[in-house]
Chains A and B, each alone.
Chain A
Amino acid sequence: MDFKLSIFLEVFPYLLEGAWVTLYLTVVSSAIGIALGLVIGMARVSRFIAVRGAAMVYIEVIRGTPLLMHLIFLYYGLPFVGINLSAETAGIAGLAGNSAAYIAEIFRAGILSVGRGQAEAALALGLTRLQAMRLVILPQAFRLVLPPLTNEFAIMLKDSSLVSTLAIAELLRKGREIVAWKVNVFSPFAGVALLYLAMTLPLTHLARALERRINPERRIPAMLL
């Protein structure tokens, strides 16, 4: 190992800048990905075959191809049809579009795991289909999908390192630049790994707290203690 503490300490502030970019990319892409994933997930269980089919094609194509290819297509491919995205926009579009496919399946599983009787009862009470989904099914489904969504968030945090191929100055790219500057591999990359961990832990912790808050069944034993 050629780890040098002096290099590690000197470059850490620059890595921190990269960590902020990573966090920003992750939060923005996740927010878009969850919104898009919810729509696609609901489309996936739609009554209309065309809507269902379109959602399925999207999910299969995205899931069946690597994220790196999406990013390269968005950044280098689209200019050939007159759409010249900046690296940041292409990066966020790629990350969000990719996670939306996985999140859609998570939401579909959540929706389908809510008992059929719930939907029937809601409709029998005179709720419209959209109301039944919004007021009865989704609140129950959301509770179920929170753990896999947290997973998805942690994956996104690390997957965002792939946008370093578009030279967005996120954490991994910053690390690479410093490797070139200091001609030393381990000292900057140790900082990179440490910062990823430092970002993942509080995020997953936060999600666990949220899980406890919105899950009444898990709140009851806590009250008894």
Chain B
Amino acid sequence: MTKRFLGTALIAALVFLVASPADAGPGVERVKKAGVLRVGSDVTYPPFEVMEAGKPVGFDVDLAREIAKALGVKLEFINTAWDGIFAALKVGKFDMLLSGITITEERMKSFDLAFSEPYFESGQGIAVRAGEKGIRSAKDLKGKVVGVQINTTGQHAAEKVPGVKEIKKYEQLPEAYTDLKAGRIAAVVADYPVIVANAKEDKGFKPLRGVILAEELLGIPVRKEEADLLEVVNRVIRDLKASSKYAQMKKKWFGE
């Protein structure tokens, strides 16, 4: 009986702790007081975010700057690992995430997060070897080994392609491209604009032009209890899309 009670009490205590991160409270006021907007990002994902010559740059970085400007605070773009990025937001390491993140139900539910309105329309594409002739669409992946970056929507999309022989999961996309060029895998499934940008750096592989496995919308996750902060983010996205600046940003980073 005592044991049972102790167990229940422990779980209750844990749930309570999980439900109330250390610095809860109205988000906007908290950020303004701190004078700095902390944005978490795995800065290894060009052209959304990449450390170029030691500085974070990319589409997401520019967008984060716009949000910080709207709040009247400085921007701190914090480099973090993709593994655990949602947990880190949940426990208050950052105010929001900007890391080329696809909006999914699962991510909202399991981490109790709220997503902003979509700021980018993306989709899953396929990369193949430069000289590849046999793979022209998703159907041709049947019986093939396909590479993805672990825990990404690229992995989910590859899992949905029927008849794929095996899915190899890599820490980072360049590792998958290296295996692609070495012939260990037949294709890589990842965000289409990312493949296009990556292929500019390396002529050993190419995107399948116009082949999109899954349409996706990218959003900005914020802790659910900071709805006021989310409102500011949504306003920035709406204003940006209504102005010519959005097209300029897209052209700057994606060349289209």
Instruction: Using CB atoms and an 8 Å cutoff, list the residues of chain A in contact with chain B.
Output: 2, 14, 17, 72, 75-76, 79-82, 84, 87, 164-167, 169, 173, 176-186
Contacts and interface: CB of A to CB of B under 8 A. Distances in A.
Contacts of A80: 14, 17-18, 91
Given A14-B53, A180-B44, A180-B46, A79 B84 contact: no
A82 B92 CA distance: 10
B174 A84 contact: no
23 contacts: A2-B202, A2-B204, A76-B87, A79-B21, A79-B91, A80-B14, A80-B17, A81-B17, A84-B22, A84-B92, A164-B81, A166-B80, A177-B44, A177-B50, A179-B174, A180-B43, A180-B46, A180-B51, A181-B51, A182-B201, A183-B177, A184-B174, A185-B175
B83 interface: yes
Contacts of A82: 17, 22
A2 B166 CA distance: 25
B88 interface: yes
B253 interface: no
A176 B3 CA distance: 48
Nearest to B40: A167
A76 B84 contact: yes
A166 B14 contact: no
Which of B42, B54, B88 gathers the greatest number of chain A CB atoms within 10 Å?
A: B54
Given A84-B22, A167-B42, A181 B181 contact: no
Nearest to A174: B51
Nearest to B81: A167
Nearest to A76: B87
Interface residues of B, number: 38
B79 A183 contact: no
A182 B173 CA distance: 11
B84 A72 contact: yes
B248 interface: no
B44 A179 contact: yes
B53 to A, nearest CB: 7
A167 B79 contact: yes
B87 A178 contact: no
Nearest to A180: B44
B92 A180 contact: no
A169 to B, nearest CB: 7
B172 interface: yes
B93 interface: yes
B91 A180 contact: no
Closest 6 CB pairs of A and B: A180-B44, A79-B91, A183-B201, A177-B51, A167-B80, A167-B81
B62 interface: no
B246 interface: no
B178 interface: yes
Given A80-B14, A84-B91, A84-B92, 5 more contacts: A166-B80, A167-B80, A176-B172, A177-B44, A180-B174
Given A84-B22, A178-B51, A181-B50, A2 B172 contact: no
Contacts of A14: 53-54
Contacts of B201: 182-184
A168 B202 CA distance: 28
Contacts of B174: 179-180, 182-185
Given A2-B204, A80-B91, A180 B79 contact: no
Given A72-B84, A167-B79, A2 B91 contact: no
A169 B43 CA distance: 11
